[in-house]
Amino acid sequence: MVKLLANFYEFECNLFRSVNRHFDRKYVNFFFRNITHVGGATFSICTLLLFIIFSNHSLKHTAIAAGLSLALSHIPVTIAKKLYPRRRPYLALDKIKVATNPLKDHSFPSGHTTAIFSSIIPFVLFLPTLGILLIPLALCVGISRVYLGLHYPSDVAVGMILGSSTGLFSFLLIIPLFS
């Protein structure tokens, strides 16, 4: 079992480095440094509040489900960060490219990735064609976390699972209340 975990960690570090090594590319850097904020608290909360305030009926209910999902999804994120205090890759690995003033809290799981997936899944369930736009957007946020040297790929994968699960749960909980 220990050997399996060591092999997985080595694979993950290699995958991490293959993404992070492109950090010096000007336009890619600009894209990922900006897209990452879509998964941040300010953008997520403000966007959902605007949908709740300015939309009506089904779209408003979906935004409420997304807001609930966003709030609920960060409970397991907070617990996991305390139970599994994983150092961020730029602190644990050599020769990692990272922006100035990077986050210093624990990396597992990715809160930004959890936030974006928990916010988009109710909208994708409400109108599946939105998935064509929203799922690639969410994936870009997840990739940005690795690109910026802040998360391992497994941090992002767990964030995707947590966010998607709470998005589904919240949608299934809220939508029947308004039907």
**Separation of alpha carbons 17 and 149, rounded Å:** 9
CA dihedral sign of residues 74, 41, 47, 134: negative
Q: pLDDT band at residue 5, thresholds of 50, 70 and 90?
A: confident
pLDDT at 98: 85
Q: pLDDT band at residue 82, thresholds of 50, 70 and 90?
A: very high
pLDDT at 23: 81
Residues 117 and 76: beta-carbon distance below 8 Å = no
**58 or 158, higher pLDDT:** 158
Q: pLDDT band at residue 22, thresholds of 50, 70 and 90?
A: confident
Residues 162 and 109: beta-carbon distance below 8 Å = yes
pLDDT at 137: 97
Listing DSSP states for 29-82 in one string gives HHHHHHHGGGGSHHHHHHHHHHHHHH--HHHHHHHHHHHHHHHHHHHHHHHHHH
Structure tokens given for 119: 């916010």
pLDDT at 132: 97
